[in-house]
Amino acid sequence: MAVPWWGQCRRSGTSFTCTSLFETAWCFSRPSSASASCLGRTSRRSWSHSEGRQAKLSTPIKPKGSIPTTLFFRQFLGSSPRCYSCRNLHSDAKLKDPFTLAQKDLKSLYDDIRKELFVSKEELKFLCDYYFDGKGKAIRPMIVVLMARALNIHSNRSGDLLPGQRAIAMISEMIHTASLVHDDVIDGSDRRRGKTTINEIWGEKKAILAGDFILSAASMALARIGNITVVKVLSQVIEDLVRGEFMQLGSKENENERFKHYLEKTFKKTASLIANSCKAVSILVNSDPEVQEIAFQYGKNVGIAFQLVDDVLDFTSGASQLGKPSAADLRLGLATGPVLFACQQFPELHAMIMRRFSSKGDVDRAWEYVLQSDGVEQTNYLAQRYCQEAIRHISLLRPSAERDALIRLTEMVLARDK
């Protein structure tokens, strides 16, 4: 008898536990990392702000809605979910502001990137510099910087960045920006970060070449680090970006497979860069695979939560806040978390999802169904679960201001409005 994909991750015995919906999907889709991703580590010691005292978990947050979230997670995991407030998880200390702690190391980030992109041809240089104007959020390099410093302290070193770690922070922003340039060509987007897109101003051909050039410069900087393992880890990011984009072009008929497909795509397109960048800086300072896995898991879970919130904002924020048109995903034919949850309450969405909202009125009707459902609330709740999982992993590191700032960052991910 065939076993559902979420059941296959639970057959290995009681010690094999999956702590979130994505963990289950990831165990199934990536067997090579199943043991690292899903082996329960609750028995391992979590550092708290006071040496030897276990971090306290707050009361679970129970979502409201016409379809209880517990039923959804029972369907996928066979058990009810547990979600905790990120704010209360470490309530015994004032958590540090991530931007303040990382500011010194990020101060010259965009200047360094522009140096890497230096070319004599004026137009190509202008295209490549277009998004590196210092006005971006720089979330990815900030996470990498804080993770690197937290890992250095955990490994009994000073908190100062190694040159290779600083380079990885820069490379992460370069890869991310190159992917945005290419995404805008694929999607035909005309707005990005509150600006007209490169493809809209200079055309698709030059936009593709600009994105390629940024990637090539990032590859050169990566090679100069001189660590073959780091090169392999960050090369995986580029492969994941391409595979994720291909996944986005398709969908699944089966509802369960569809959600798994969505979460895997979310990892490849968004979270892989953060997860593997965090792992890369850990490789340069600590050879312990468990420490490297802590870094990877934090980045993975924060990255997925970030994208889930982004998918919610497409329904709840205006274009002026987002810097891009709202309902953009629906117009591109994409069924994100809020739509997939809403489909449980409004089965009419199924046909729209399969035809990628291409019929007249589909986008407007789907928008209304999502707002009438608890799809937004359910997606926010799922993002909370990923943030709680990120905190669980990062709490295994030795206490430091940077570690606490990474915990604080999970709150900021959940609270952001653009």
The two beta strands, 195-196 and 191-192, are antiparallel
For 212-266, write each residue's pLDDT tens digit: 999 999 999 999 999 999 999 999 999 999 999 999 887 777 777 889 999 999 9
Give the lowest-confidence range in 33-37, 111-115, 346-350: 33-37
The token duo for 121 is 């041809």
More reliable by pLDDT, 228 or 323: 228
Dihedral (CA of 111, 114, 118, 119) sign: negative
pLDDT > 60? residue 268: yes
What confidence score (pLDDT) does residue 321 get? 56
Q: How far is CA 385 from CA 62, 96, 128, 243, 293, in A?
A: 12, 22, 37, 25, 19
What confidence score (pLDDT) does residue 318 get? 67
Are residues 175 and 213 in contact, defined by beta-carbon separation less than 8 angstroms? Answer: no
The token duo for 238 is 């580029």
pLDDT > 80? residue 392: yes
The token duo for 105 is 């190391």
pLDDT > 90? residue 21: no
What confidence score (pLDDT) does residue 325 get? 55
- DSSP annotation of 97 reads P
What confidence score (pLDDT) does residue 120 get? 66
Give the lowest-confidence range in 1-10, 81-90, 283-292, 405-414: 1-10
pLDDT band at residue 38 using 50, 70 and 90 as cut-offs: very low
pLDDT band at residue 308 using 50, 70 and 90 as cut-offs: very high
Are residues 286 and 292 in contact, defined by beta-carbon separation less than 8 angstroms? Answer: yes
Q: How far apart are CA 135 and CA 362, in angstroms?
A: 35
The token duo for 404 is 């606490």
Mean pLDDT of the chain: 80
More reliable by pLDDT, 316 or 73: 316
What confidence score (pLDDT) does residue 50 get? 38
Are residues 395 and 407 in contact, defined by beta-carbon separation less than 8 angstroms? Answer: yes
What confidence score (pLDDT) does residue 408 get? 95
Annotate 261-277 with b (16+ C-beta within 10 A) or e (fewer).
bbbbbbbbbbbbbbbbb
pLDDT band at residue 323 using 50, 70 and 90 as cut-offs: low
Are residues 387 and 413 in contact, defined by beta-carbon separation less than 8 angstroms? Answer: yes
For 94-135, write each residue's pLDDT tens digit: 567 898 888 888 888 988 998 898 876 788 888 888 888 877
Task: Show the 3-state SS of 108-176.
Answer: CHHHHHHHHCCCCCHHHHHHHHCCCCCCCCCHHHHHHHHHHHHHHHHCCCCCCCCHHHHHHHHHHHHHH
Rg (CA), the chain: 21
Domains along the chain?
A: 98-415 (1.10.600.10)
For 11, other C-beta atoms within 10 Å of its C-beta total 8
pLDDT band at residue 136 using 50, 70 and 90 as cut-offs: confident
Secondary structure (3-state) at 192: strand
Taking alpha carbons only, the member of 295, 207, 280, 208 closest to residue 237 is 280
What confidence score (pLDDT) does residue 135 get? 73
pLDDT > 70? residue 9: no
More reliable by pLDDT, 70 or 147: 147
More reliable by pLDDT, 42 or 266: 266
What confidence score (pLDDT) does residue 94 get? 54
Percent of the chain residues topping a pLDDT of 70: 75
Percent of the chain residues topping a pLDDT of 90: 57
